[in-house]
Amino acid sequence: MKVLIAEDDPITRNGLIEILQSEGYEVMAAANGEETIELFSRVQPDFICLDIMMPGKDGYSVCRQIRSMNSQIPIVFISAKSEEIDKVVGLELGADDFIVKPFGVREVIARIRAITRRCINSKKSADFDSESVFDFGDLKIYPNELRAKRNTVTIDLSLREIRLLALFAKNPRKALTRQQISEACWDAEHFPTSRTLDQHISQLRKHIEVDPHDPRLIQTVHGVGYRHDS
């Protein structure tokens, strides 16, 4: 799933890129309004994170122009402009959400996941069959919700974690190498190191295992990679 970030501040821009790439998105970034319009026309992202105060064409103007070309694409304003009127103007222009700087990582992730659910439900995702609920041990995985359920307990998951679970579910009892996992769940430009992959698996285990210190759903195959014992 492709996300376009429009943000002139490099620290904020790089922080958003890191957050979204870690979640499993393909990220493009622009530093001003004109570049945002050019990237939007060229790459056709699934949704946009848009700053308001940018040099040249501001975020409001960019939003108007994008809305004239595409009335459906989700747009999230991320801005230091925090007055109620700023939010009202943004939403009246057709934005789907408004995040105020400074923001917390958890807030951004929660709001982006909400946008992603709407994207998945509005069209077939290239990442997985969004209509296909599947079993993973004692869990039910709901890709279109970015969630898993164990009995009455609901577990929120990232796009990357859904992709990992789908890969393991399609290859039960098969030891998958780190290379195979990386090729299936990361894009070629952002292959993870072994340490990064292990960290993602560790985080996923914290979410889905009854006892993350004694994992049963995703087993480590020493010297190779990981295996799902269904």
User: How does residue 181 score in pLDDT terms, banded at 50, 70 and 90?
Assistant: very high
- Inform me whether the pLDDT recorded for 123 exceeds 90: no
User: How many structural domains comprise the chain?
Assistant: 2
Distance CA 105, CA 15 (A): 9
Q: Is residue 210 situated within a structural domain?
A: yes
Q: Do 107 and 174 share a domain, yes or no? A: no
pTM of the model: 0.84
Distance CA 197, CA 164 (A): 11
DSSP class of residue 173? T
For residues 41-61, average pLDDT: 92
Q: Quick check: helix, strand or coil at residue 137?
A: coil
- Inform me whether the pLDDT recorded for 209 exceeds 90: yes
Token pair for residue 136?
């993973």
Q: Is residue 139 situated within a structural domain?
A: no
Beta strands in the chain (DSSP E): 2-6, 26-30, 47-50, 75-79, 97-100, 134-136, 139-142, 147-150, 153-156, 176-177, 218-221, 225-228
Q: Would you call the peptide bond into 192 cis, given omega within 30 degrees of 0 as the criterion?
A: no
User: How does residue 191 score in pLDDT terms, banded at 50, 70 and 90?
Assistant: confident
Range(s) of the domain holding residue 97: 2-122
Q: Do 10 and 81 share a domain, yes or no? A: yes
130-180 confidence digits (pLDDT tens):
458 999 999 999 998 999 999 999 999 999 999 999 999 999 999 999 999
Token pair for residue 188?
């070629």
pLDDT for the residue numbered 82: 74
Token pair for residue 38?
């050019």
Percent of the chain whose predicted confidence (pLDDT) is above 70: 96
98-115 confidence digits (pLDDT tens):
898 888 999 999 999 999
